[in-house]
Structure 1
Amino acid sequence: MNTSRIILFLGLILFATACTNKNQLNVSGKIEGAEGKTLYFQQLNLDGAVDLDSIALKENGKFNFSLPRLEHPTFLLLKLSDNNLITLLADSTENIIVNAKSDNLIDSYNVKNSMGSSYVKTLNRRLETSKNEIDSLISIYKEIPVANTEERKKISDKLQEIVNKQKDFIFDFVMTNPRSFASYYAVFQRFDDGNLILNPNEKKDFNMFATVATSLDLQFPESPRVKQLKQFVLGIRKEQRTKEFTEKLLKERKTTATIPEIEEENLQGKKVKLSSLKGKMVLLSFWASWDAKSRQENKQLLKIYNKYKSKGFTVYQVSLDKSKILWETAVQQDKLPWVNVSDLQYTNSYPAQIYNIKKLPANYLISKEGEIIGKDLFGRILDEKLADLLN
């Protein structure tokens, strides 16, 4: 009877332990030749490694670390020193087993029960091979006389070929495993000089970052690494748009014979070109419903418009608003009869950029021949200028 109770009690303990293990991550294994050394167990966060636990290894080299169930895939380190460590990619409640030799953890370890950690190992091994090939070629390159440009170019071409092959390996890996956190690890791999292998400013490389960001965001939107990757991608996209916008401005300025063209929508949604008013004296006016000085200037401009409109004077006005409702309300309140357009891009307005508008209100006076003959003419000064030109 007593024996049966003991067996039942032990069974309950084992069952409770099994249930507990389902709610935790375990990393265990053996490090050969590490007697007396300390093995550190760390979590690799965005701002660096954080100590979780450590153990002084005994002669058998065995270790066992545990963590509560992981909310999302997490990078962990097993480390004997800063230059002798293993990177793991743990997920949820895995029971990861790692065996290695203490003199060189990275080259000797094997890992079981963790697909993410196996992927990381594969990525590191492939990168290490590329680095060794690059180091070998660089040594050869340094021995070639500077005057021997032909041989140096051959080495440079081989170096680029290795880099391209490494990129291709990452591309293939990401496209095969877009939902794995190992793909996050892949796109952020670096060479020894600290530079990313993938160049986010190159379209094909950038697409890899974007692919991983989109895929992981669907599964782990609350992960700090996923949030960081999304911001990284959005930042690069913003830089690209700014660059494209700047190039467009420069091209517009170089190719425009007289003045830069504007073609934006009016309140009715119809696009109106500035050049459509050629043959009239045009005041190209920049304003915004939210700018008090602009609204005040509209009152003066309306008087001048009514005075000279019969003599060929008109206004092409560009609003720097971002709300169509506010823009439309201001037009109605100020009773503005002339052409009024906007791309609703606020201070990022393309017309404002191409005409280098730094403050509001602002304007350019354009002759009937389409040439700029005045800038920032307001009130009495504008009135006198038009009187000289149109009377």
Structure 2
Amino acid sequence: MKWIISMIIIALLFISCNRGDMSIRGKITNCSSEKIFLDEVDVYLTKAIDSIKLKRNGNFRFRDNSRFPKFYQLRMMHGETIQLLLEPGERAEIRADCNDLLNTLKIKGSEGSVLVNEIVTALSKTTDKLDSISNIYENTTDLTLRDNLAKEYEQIMDDHRKYTIDFLLKHSTSLASFRALYQQYNEDFFVLNRLRDLQFYKIVTDSLVKKYPRVKQVIALKQNTQKLLSQYYNQKLLSFADEKHIGLPEIALPDTRGDTISLTSLKGKYILLSFWATWNNTSIDYNIGLKDVYRKYRNRGFEIYHVSLDKSIETWNRSVIFDELEWINVIDTTFPYSKAAGVYNVQILPANYLIDKDFSTIIAKNLLPAQLDVRLHELIN
């Protein structure tokens, strides 16, 4: 009897120990004898945890053990990666051609990995389209073509945004949604970049916290969502204050020479507080339209305080010089956590606010250059 009980205990212990075992095996052709790495993709860093040499036929196998789901990547010597998301106990099977990993990749045995790669593939195709349009845009002087390209560019981004929202709503309980939330076209530009997109952070956070309360990515997501919500509520309060005309917040940011320029230093003039970014094509077109208005009124009690939300100071400086922007240019590199954009409730770029001479009232918001011309003519004359 004691022998039977002992065997049952041993069996239970064995099952318990292996419940968290994960394996990744498969075949990557046209990479024979190349080294392949297994990395764990953590919240803020990626660390190598194993490496092996592919067999001549391309076969490989990795093992890991965890009580919680984990994000991984298979990394090839030439830098390309395969993104994975494994639940405890899953056995992922990979098939791919080293010459075209993204388009030949097949995954079985891991639903999370399939979903993650759906997102990766969709974003890759979108960025390829955007890069192609950008190249054509930069190499043409045809204004009509440029205008059409800008519209097409915005439409492609809008289509990918809609795809992402649909994905999040369908898979809000999957950790793959964590990857979908934080997609970026480049290091400065997130796919979900509008204020109202906060609702999708909230939906996914609430779903994942219930299912995976102890997973590191979910803990980080919860903290970030709470921070974004706090900023949102502060913006709502400011929006209410704006409507009641209760003063205006100060902004003090560095200009192209590194000198800090305050918004209130322009008190006594009509001020156009304008927000933009070099990665936003509509902003670039708007800047060009502003130039004639500025030259018309710059010596008649009018100034522009132009706030860039770029990450790269070098890119911003280059754009200011190239486009010959003669007004006051400053930069806030903390976007999307910009306090300046937050306190003025900026929800879309470009955005602008026409402020009166005593710095107490916003006269108008989001004026086109022609509309600004009319308002300034009325005010100054």
Q: Which of 71, 89, 93 does residue 89 from structure 2 map onto? A: 93
Alignment equivalent of 1:220, drawn from 206, 212, 218: 212
Structure 1 match to 2:22: 25
1:62 paired residue among 59, 65, 79: 59
Query: Any unmatched runs of 5+ in structure 1?
Result: 1-15, 256-391
Q: Secondary structure at the match of 2:41?
A: strand
**Which structure is larger by alpha-carbon Rg, 1 or 2?**
1
1:117 equivalent to 2:109? Answer no
| Conserved? CA contact 1:84–1:104, under 8 Å | no
Deviation at 1:159, TM superposition (A): 0.6
3-state SS of 1:83 partner = coil
Q: In 1, Cα distance between the equivalents of 2:192 and 2:135?
A: 24
- Counterparts of residues 98-247 of structure 1 (less than 5 Å): 98-145=94-141, 148-199=142-193, 201-203=194-196, 205-247=197-239
Q: Secondary structure at the match of 1:248?
A: helix
Paired residue type of 1:135: D
Change (3 A) 1:59 1:236: same
Q: Which TM-score applies when normalising by structure 2?
A: 0.58
2:188 and 2:69 mapped to 1: Cα distance?
24
Amino acid in the other structure paired with 2:195: E
Cα distance in 1 for partners of 2:188, 2:99 equals: 25
- 2:349 match: none
Matched residue SS, 1:41:
strand
| Residue equivalent to 2:37 | 40
Contact 1:27 1:95 in 2 (8 A): yes
The 1-side partners of 2:31 and 2:75 are apart by: 12
- Structure 2 unmatched runs, 5+: 1-12, 248-381
Q: Secondary structure at the match of 2:75?
A: strand
Q: Is the 8 A contact 1:30 1:99 kept in 2?
A: yes
In structure 2, distance between residues paired with 1:34 and 1:67:
23
> What is residue 268 of structure 2 aligned with on the other side?
none
Distance 1:250 1:141 in 2: 38
CA distance in 2, matches of 1:216, 1:19: 24
Q: Does 1:83 align with 2:76?
A: no
Structure 2 equivalent of residue 300 of structure 1: none
Deviations 1:174-226, CA, capped at 9 Å, x for gaps: 11111001111111111134421101x421x2111111101000011111111
The sequence identity of aligned pairs, in percent, is: 22
Aligned-partner Cα distance in 2 for 1:20–1:218: 25
Contact 2:19 2:88 in 1 (8 A): no
Higher relative contact order (CA 8 A, sep 6+): 2
Deviation at 1:57, TM superposition (A): 1.7
Contact 2:27–2:57 (Cα < 8 Å) also in 1: yes
C-alpha deviations, 1:207-265, integer Å up to 9, x for none?
1111110100001111111111111111111111222222333443459xxxxxxxxxx
Q: Counterparts in 2 of 1:276-315, with a 5 A limit?
A: none
AA of the residue aligned to 2:163: F
SS in 2 for 1:104: helix
Equivalent position amino acid for 1:165 in 2: D
Show the 5 A alignment for 1:298-377.
Answer: none
What's the TM-score once normalised by structure 1's chain length? 0.57
Question: Equivalents in 2 of 1:142, 1:100: separation in Å?
Answer: 35
Contact kept, 8 Å, 1:77 with 1:87, in 2: the verdict is yes
Alignment partner, residue 278 of structure 2: none
For 1:210 and 1:141, the matched residues in 2 are separated by 37
Aligned equivalents of 2:58 and 2:145: distance in 1? Answer: 51
Superposed CA offset, 1:274-330 (max 9, x none): xxxxxxxxxxxxxxxxxxxxxxxxxxxxxxxxxxxxxxxxxxxxxxxxxxxxxxxxx
Change (3 A) 1:79 1:202: same
Question: What residue identity is the alignment partner of 1:172?
Answer: D
